[in-house]
């Protein structure tokens, strides 16, 4: 009886640890999304809103053309909470025609066909 109880508690504890690790290290906005590559060529369009306490909240809007690994183009619009670094390359995750996430990547990590299209911009 004690052995079965110990096994059940151990399994529950292990599942809890795995769930915490999954929440920490997996970006669920990237799962099932299409990847496109963009380069930040200009500052974002700053939009400022004010909260109830009077503090301002700034968002930066971007409208860019992204390219998938085959070089196919797609118009993408997304917001960032800061003005993104000029000339930075991003991998943008697009799910249901909405950008769900993005991450900065190095130029050498971009597939060749997408990289060639970005260089022509």
Q: For the segment 30-79, what is each residue's pLDDT rounded down to a tens digit?
A: 666 789 999 999 999 999 888 788 788 889 999 999 999 999 999 999 99
HSE, CB side, 13 Å, CA atoms: give it for residue 36: 24
pLDDT in the model for residue 83: 93
Q: What angle do CA 70, 86, 56 make, to 5 degrees?
A: 115
Average pLDDT over residues 81-95: 92
Can you tell me the distance from the alpha carbon of 105 to that of 92, in angstroms, rounded to the nearest whole number? 10
| pLDDT value, residue 86 | 94
For the record, the structure tokens of 6 come out as 């110990």
Superfamily of domain 34-120: Protein of unknown function DUF1093 (2.40.50.480)
Locate the domains of the chain by residue range. Answer: 1-31, 34-120
CB 92 within 8 A of CB 38: yes
The whole-angstrom separation of Cα 121 and Cα 105 is 18
pLDDT tens sequence across 3-23? 888 888 888 888 888 888 777
Q: Over 13-68, what HEC string results? A: HHHHHHHHHHHHHCCCCCCCCEEEEEECCCCCEEEEEECCCCCEEEEEEEEEEEEC
């Amino acid at each position: 009886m004690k052995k079965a109880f110990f096994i059940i508690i151990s399994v529950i504890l292990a599942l809890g640890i795995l769930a915490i690790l999954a929440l920490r290290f997996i970006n669920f906005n990237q799962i099932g999304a299409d990847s496109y590559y963009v380069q930040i060529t200009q500052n974002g369009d700053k939009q400022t809103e004010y909260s109830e306490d009077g503090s301002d909240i700034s968002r930066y809007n971007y409208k860019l053309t992204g390219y998938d690994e085959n070089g196919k183009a797609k118009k993408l619009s997304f917001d960032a909470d800061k003005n993104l670094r000029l000339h930075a390359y991003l991998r943008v995750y697009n799910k249901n025609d909405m950008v769900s996430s993005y991450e900065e990547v190095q130029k050498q990590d971009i597939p060749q066909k997408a990289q060639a299209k970005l260089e022509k911009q």
